[in-house]
Chain A
Amino acid sequence: MEMSANELAGQKTGVELSALKAEARNLNFYYGDMQALKGVSLPVAERRVTALIGPSGCGKSTFLRCFNRMHDLYDGSRYEGEIVFQPDGVNILERSVDPIEVRMRIGMVFQKPNPFPKSIFENVAYGLRVRGERSRRVMAEKVEAALRDASLWDEVSDRLDDMAFNLSGGQQQRLCIARALATEPELMLFDEPTSALDPIATANIEELIHRLKDKVTILIVTHNMQQAARVSDYTAFMYLGELVEFGDTNLIFTNPKSKQTEDYITGRYG
């Protein structure tokens, strides 16, 4: 039996959620005439990891990028519906909401490490500069704290002025995590953060995500189901722009309600 995505969201899923950090309500998204998201509703629990899984092209990255209004950078994108951000209770998709304000509070880590061609220090400090931080002392403290949180400090503390490109791929991705952490975001979006990394670097990042959820709410897109099972508290399965099933990660992987979810997690397609 198919349930509409709408009914799956929030309390109706029967999932016990702690406080919500954000909630997508009946979200439609269009690239020009092409509808990429169809009525997606999803709660994002505070200080928990919520994973989005699904086959390529199912709209999980598109959905993630709605949360920091990344689509606004490109012509021809259109949102319908709501993403209510807590504690303010504001719909961040509203036209009157400045996407830059949204991005000030919601950080993002991308699929491929994308450090700026600047020094390691400058990469982490950039978000602080954007926020008008002038004191060198405060800046240095926050950069160190962010690098420690991203488990990178011990590897780079003696070469903060080196170019970020000289780091390995895994280090670069942790640098990008530190860069986002330095701005103390309330919600962090991870868009397949390990898809370009080797298994050891991937394990590092997963461990990091696991530790970070004490500080920050995390929404992560992954094409890797084992990864979703390892790092997340809640999992949402998306297919063809719709949310098929959402629930407690353990339940989704052991006892999926939907046939589609079951087929996907057992590797029958995707």
Chain B
Amino acid sequence: MAYDAQTVRRLVARGKHWDKVFVIIGLLSLMVGVLTLAVLLAGLIHDGAGRLNLDFFSNFPSRRAERAGILSALVGSSLVMLVTALAAIPLGIAAGVYLEEYARKNWLTEIIEINVTNLAGVPSIIYGLLALGLFVYAFDFGQSILSAGLTLALLILPVIIVATREAIRAIPGTIREGAYALGATRWQTVRDHVVPYSTGGILTGVIIGLARAIGETAPVITIGALTFIAFLPEAPVGGEFPFISFEWLSSPFTVMPIQMFNWLSRPQAAFQENAAAAGMVLVVLTLLMNALAIWLRLRYRKRIKW
């Protein structure tokens, strides 16, 4: 039975009708996300833009809203992120590489794999509880930058492991075989090929993980970050021998989201402005980190195309 021209036209028209319907549904769905973000940002800017000046970045918190700034929170966040990155990057990459390149595929690695993915979904406050018992008390690191950094490192470890594994899986098997066929050992293959070729994907995962960590509040409160702190940790690099100091690791601290939370919980309107301004800084930091991730991905993708 053949379809005559008219039937065909009707069938096509009916099919296309659903195209139009879906375009509308899709656009609406998209708008929900985009508009919410836009409104949120506009609100923050409206409330907080007036407070954004150099003093806001260079002042310690204060009881007087107009003199309060985010210096200690910004420095605290930066140092905590430094510890987080230094701990999570090598651990995450090593674990990911091991699972992909070394581990035999059996029920044990299967269970580990499922659990790594599950870890990414554990509420962050649970990590805070774990860290309170482990880092703060058992290891006696105290309520310090070190404890906070390690806690957030645990939190983003699954993100980095998963990103590492995905980046490694994108490498064609023939490239790996090419290296082995030349007589390379597993380690040489990992060091000279697998890790370099997956750097783009790994870095993207690292940055997305850090962008999540920088906004985390609950676990950092749990381990006892301060909400009001008017001094900076000792600088890591000094003018006197031995020039490098690790005192800052054990220093008390606060971070951006906690500072923001602190201001939000005050009744005075002026502090609400401060909170909005701090929120703007935090959002911009996160956006910048994500932009960096995108840029890195594009850069590496340009160099390596499979």
Contacts and interface: CB of A to CB of B under 8 A. Distances in A.
A101 B183 CA distance: 7
B179 A116 contact: yes
Contacts of B176: 73
A157 interface: no
A116 B193 CA distance: 8
A117 B179 CA distance: 12
A127 B182 contact: yes
A176 B179 CA distance: 11
B50 interface: no
Contacts of B303: 117, 163
B185 A116 contact: no
B180 interface: yes
B109 to A, nearest CB: 11
A108 B188 contact: no
A73 B177 CA distance: 8
B197 A130 contact: no
Contacts of B197: 117
Size class of B's contact patch?
Answer: 20 to 34
A145 B178 CA distance: 20
Interface in B150-179: 172, 174-179
Given A116-B193, A117-B304, A163-B303, A126 B179 contact: yes
A117 B178 CA distance: 12
A110 B183 contact: no
B183 A131 contact: yes
B181 interface: yes
B172 A114 contact: yes
Interface string B74-116: 0000000000000000000000000000001100000000000
A103 B180 contact: yes
Interface residues of A, number: 27
A22 to B, nearest CB: 16
Q: Which of A75, A103, A107, A183 has the most CB atoms of chain B within a 10 A radius of its CB?
A: A103
A38 interface: no
Contact of A183 (B180, B183, B305): B183
Interface string A93-134: 000000011011001101010111100000000110111000
Contacts of B305: 165
A176 B178 contact: yes
A75 B185 CA distance: 17
A115 B304 CA distance: 11
Interface string B105-139: 10000000000000000000000000000000000
A179 B172 contact: no
A232 interface: no
Contacts of B181: 68, 70, 103, 107-108, 110, 180
A185 B12 CA distance: 62
Interface string B14-49: 000000000000000000000000000000000000
B182 A130 contact: yes
Contacts of A112: 174
Nearest to A176: B178
A70 B177 CA distance: 8
Contacts of A179: 178, 182
A83 to B, nearest CB: 16
B192 A126 contact: yes
B177 A110 contact: yes
Given A75-B104, A117-B197, A110 B182 contact: no
A129 B191 CA distance: 13
Contacts of A129: 192
A179 B178 CA distance: 10
A153 to B, nearest CB: 20
A115 B105 CA distance: 28
B285 interface: no
A130 B174 contact: no
B130 to A, nearest CB: 35
Contacts of A101: 183
Contacts of B180: 70, 73, 103
Interface in B250-306: 303-305
B217 to A, nearest CB: 41
A179 B179 CA distance: 10
B182 A126 contact: yes
B235 interface: no
B177 A116 contact: no
Nearest to B304: A117
A116 B183 contact: no
A176 B174 CA distance: 12
Contacts of B172: 114
B11 interface: no
Interface of B: 104-105, 172, 174-185, 188, 192-193, 197, 303-305
7 contacts: A70-B180, A73-B180, A101-B183, A110-B178, A116-B178, A130-B182, A130-B188
Interface of A: 68, 70, 73, 75, 100-101, 103-104, 107-108, 110, 112, 114-117, 126-127, 129-131, 163, 165, 176, 179-180, 183
Given A107-B182, A110-B178, A114-B178, 10 more contacts: A68-B181, A70-B177, A70-B180, A73-B180, A100-B183, A103-B180, A103-B182, A103-B183, A116-B193, A180-B181
List 5 tightest A-B contacts by C-beta distance, closest first. Answer: A104-B183, A108-B181, A114-B174, A127-B182, A103-B183
